[in-house]
Structure 1
C-alpha cells in the first residue's frame, strides 16, 4: 500500500516540502508554514488529483453495478458480499454517504450503458446494415468524454444527465418506422448539443445551477413533456400530520412547483433580513429588519410562527402586518420575441424553476403582467442621472437578465440582491443605466465595496471581476462573470436567439 509520502509526491507543491516517511501530522505542520499562494496551489493540485481518482472510482462502481444486476440474483457481486445493491456495497467500501454512493453508481452505469446507441434505427436502403454501421453512442456521450478528459467531475456529470433526463418517448402508433427513427435521431442530436452547452458552462456554474439549467433546457426541448411532468408533480402534492415517538405532532409536506415557489417567496419576504437580503430599505423597514435580526427565535421557529400566522389570518390577512412592505408573491418570466411568439416554457425569477407556459398564462389572468423590453445584452432603460437608485422596472429587468447574484459561484436569487453601479455615482459620475448595473447579493456587494474588488465592462460586453491584488488567488485575478442562468433561449437549433424580446412578468 502506498505511504503518505508516496501520495504527497503526486501533489508537487506539497511533496517538495516533505521528507521520506512523513505522515499527515507533519504535512499539516508544513502547510501551516506555507504562503497563501502555495497553500492555494496545494488545494488546486489536490482537486486535479481527486478528479482523476474519482474517474477510476466511478468506473469501478459502474463495473460493480453491471455485475450486480437483478437477473444475477444472489450470485451477483454485491449480493455475494452481503449487500442489497451496488450502491450499498459502494457505500460500505468507500465510507461515503448513501447519496454519494448512489451518484457514483449512476455515473458508473452511464459509462457502460449503450442501450440508446442504436436501438430502433433501421439501416438506409443503400447503406451498410445495422451490424456493419458503428453505433453513434448515447446522447450523453459528450458527458462521458468530458468526464474522461477532466472537464467535468462525476457530480457535474450526474447533475447534467439528471437535469436533461431521458429522450422523449415517440408514439409508435402514430408514425411509421422511418419517421420514428428520424425523430429519435433528431432528439438524440438536440440532447447531445444541450449536453455540450452545459459542459462549456460547468466551470462557471455551481452544481445546483447546472442541474436547474439542464432542467430548463430539457423543458424547452420537450414542452409537451414539461407539461406532463408539471402535472405529475402537481398530482403528488400532499400534506399529512402524524405523531412522533415522543408524542409531538409532526407534519410532512410534498409541494408542487407553484406551491414550492409561493412558500419559498413567502418565507423570503418575511425572513430576508435573517438570510442576507437587501439593506437599502426605508426607515420603517430598516427598523423591522433590525428587530427581526435581534429576535431570539431560530429561523425554523420564525418560519413555523409565520406559517401559523398566515393560516390564522387566512384569505383576509393584512399583508403588510405579516410581511412588511415586501408582500410575498411568485414572479414568472416568459419570453416574447419580436414577432409576438411566446416561449413554450416560463421560469420563476427566483430560483429559476422552469414551468409550462400555461402556468404564466394562469398567473397573468390572476395578477396581470409587467412588460419589460430588453435587447440580447439586457439594456432596456436609461434614466440618466435623475435617479440615484434603480427604479422598479429596471430592477425587474436586472432580475431577468442576471437571474440572481452574478458573483462567481454565488447562488443567491434575484430577490436577495442589490443593484450595484459598476461606475461609482460620485467618483465616476456613474449613470443609473441597466448596462452599467449588475445584481449582487448583500454579502458580495459589501465584499466588493469594502474589499477593494472591481467590476468592469467594456460597452455591452462581459462583466469582469478583478481581484484587489491582481495576483492569483482561489479566483483568477480576472474572472468573467457568467449569468446565473443562460437566457431563456438556450442557443439550440438552427434559428439564432432573437435580438430583442419582451419578458412578460406576472
Structure 2
C-alpha cells in the first residue's frame, strides 16, 4: 500500500472531523449533516481504494494451483473471497468486487518480465483518487471486459475514460442505464444476440401459498415494454393526483403497492374487454433514425427503458401496440407552436419526452412526468414550443420551483440539452448542471 493512499485516508479523516464528524449526529445542523455524509463517502472510497490492491494480492497468493500453499487455505478458508468476507464483514459480492477492481487496476508483467500498465488505467486513477467507488468501478470493468473482444482498443480506452468521468455521483440505477447505453454504442452487433437470448429465457411463474399469490419471472425488453409503459402511466397518474391532496384524501400506498394494484386493474379490465385483442392498446415511443426504421439494423432505445433493443424488434412491437418511432417532424406532427394555445400538443410532448428521456432532472420514467413551461405561460408570456418545454416529475417540478432553480435549453429539437442552474444559496457560482439525459449518455 503506497504512502499516497494512506495520506489520502488521513486527509479524508481530517475532512470528516472538520465537517463535524466528532459530534453526535442529532447535534449537527442540516448543512453539517450533509457535509459529514459527503466526508464519510470520501473516506469510504479512499479506504476501499487502499484495500482493493490488498484484496487482489490475497487472491493472487490464494490461486487454486497453489493447493495447500494457498494463503486462504492456510488461514482456513476455501477461497480468497471467503477470507476477505470473513475478516471485513462484507458480503460475497462486495468482496468479489474488491478483488476484481484490485486485479484490473494493478500493474502487470509480461512473460518476459517487462512491466506493463494496468489493464484499466482510467479506472485505477479514478479509484485511487477517491473519485470512483469500487462498486461503480467493478461495473465499468465488467462492461469493458465483456465487449473488449469486439471493440477497437483505442475506442475502448476512450470509452473507459468517459465512463470514469461520468460515473461519480450517479445512483446505482443511473449507472446501470449509462452502462447499458454504452454497451449498445460500443458493441451494436451484440444487441441482437443479447436480445434474442433474453427472449428465449423469458418465463413467468404463479405460485399460490398461504392465501397469497407469488409472481416471479423475467422477460426481454421487447416483451416488457408494453407492461412497463402501462403500469408506469397508471402509477404516474396516481402520484400526480396525490401531490396536492390533503392528509385525509392522500393515497397512502407505496410505489410497489401502486404497481401491484395497476397490474390487477389491467387484468380485471382484460376479463371483460370485448375489443379486438390485436388492436392498438398502448403507446410505446421508440427513438431511432430514419435509416434504422428502413433497414431494421442497429440498436434503438424505448422511452423509459434502460436496455437498448435491436431495431428489428420495433416491427414486432408494432403488430399489437401503437409504436411511435422518434422520426418526428413533417406535415403530420406540429412540433412548434406559438402562444395562441397554452397546452403542448401530443406531438410536442412526445418530442420533449424523446429529448429529455424521462424527468429531465432526476431521470424518473416519462410516464411519471408532465411537460412544464420553463418560462411561465401566463406570467412571463412563455411560448408553447420545444425550447420552452421540459419534462419534470411532480417532485422535481415543485422542488425546482420552490427553491429558485433556473432551467435553460441549449440547442434545438430533440438533440437540445437541458441545463439546471442552482440558486445562489445552493451554489454561489451558480454552475449549470446537466440534465439526466446528458448525465447518463455516453457520447458516440
TM-score, scaled to structure 1 = 0.70
Instruction: Give unmatched runs, 5+ long, in structure 1.
Output: 1-6, 19-23, 119-129, 170-183, 281-285, 320-325, 493-506
SS in 1 for 2:287: strand
Equivalence for 1:484:
437
Q: Does 1:15 align with 2:8?
A: no
Q: 1:256 aligns with which of 192, 212, 220?
A: 220
Query: Which residue in the other structure is 1:501 paired with?
Result: none
Q: Is 1:157 aligned to residue 137 of structure 2?
A: yes
1:304 deviation in Å?
4.4
Q: Match for residue 196 of structure 2?
A: 231
| Structure 2 residue aligned with 1:167 | 147
Of 93-102 and 361-370, deviating more is 361-370
- The reply on whether 1:145 has 2:97 as its aligned counterpart is no
Instruction: Give the Å deviation of 1:369.
Output: 4.6
CA contact (8 A) 2:283 2:323 kept: no
Q: CA separation in 2, counterparts of 1:302 and 1:47?
A: 33
- Structure 2 counterpart SS, 1:65: helix
C-alpha separation in 2, matches of 1:243 and 1:339: 44
Q: Which has the higher contact order (CA 8 A, sep 6+)?
A: 1
Alignment partner for residue 46 of structure 1, among 29, 40, 45? 40
Relative distance call for 1:436 and 1:17 in structure 2 (3 A) is closer
Q: Kindly provide the CA deviation profile for residues 215-250 of structure 1, in whole angstroms up to 9, marking residues without a partner as x.
A: 222223323322111111112212234566x58663
Q: Distance in 2 between matches of 1:86 and 1:416?
A: 45
Give the whole-Å Cα distance in 1 for the aligned partners of 2:292 and 2:257: 48
The CA deviation at 1:191 is 1.9
5 Å-filtered alignment, 1:246-325, equals: 250-274=214-238, 276-277=239-240, 300=256, 303-304=259-260, 306-308=262-264, 310-311=266-267, 314=270, 317=273
Give yes or no for the alignment of 1:56 onto 2:50: yes
Compared CA separation, residues 204 and 482, structure 1 to 2 (3 A): farther
Give the count of matched residue pairs.
Answer: 424
TM-score (norm 2): 0.78
Could you say if the C-alpha distance between residues 372 and 83 of structure 1 is closer, same or farther in structure 2, counting changes exceeding 3 Å? same
1:31-110 maps to which residues of 2 (within 5 A)? Answer: 32-34=27-29, 36-73=30-67, 75-110=69-104
Give distance in 2, aligned partners of 1:298 and 1:44.
29
1:450-483 C-alpha deviation (Å, 9 max, x unpaired): 333222356667543233343449xx74332234
The change in CA–CA distance for 1:242 and 1:469 in structure 2 (over 3 A counts) is: same
SS of residue matched to 1:426: coil
Distance 1:430 1:105, change over 3 A: same
Deviations 1:140-188 (A, max 9, x none): 332223222333221221232334451365xxxxxxxxxxxxxx7x622
The 10-residue stretch of structure 1 (385-394 or 478-487) with the greater mean CA deviation from structure 2 = 478-487
CA contact (8 A) 2:235 2:262 kept: no
SS of the counterpart of 2:125? Answer: helix
Matches within 5 A, 1:383-398: 383-398=337-352
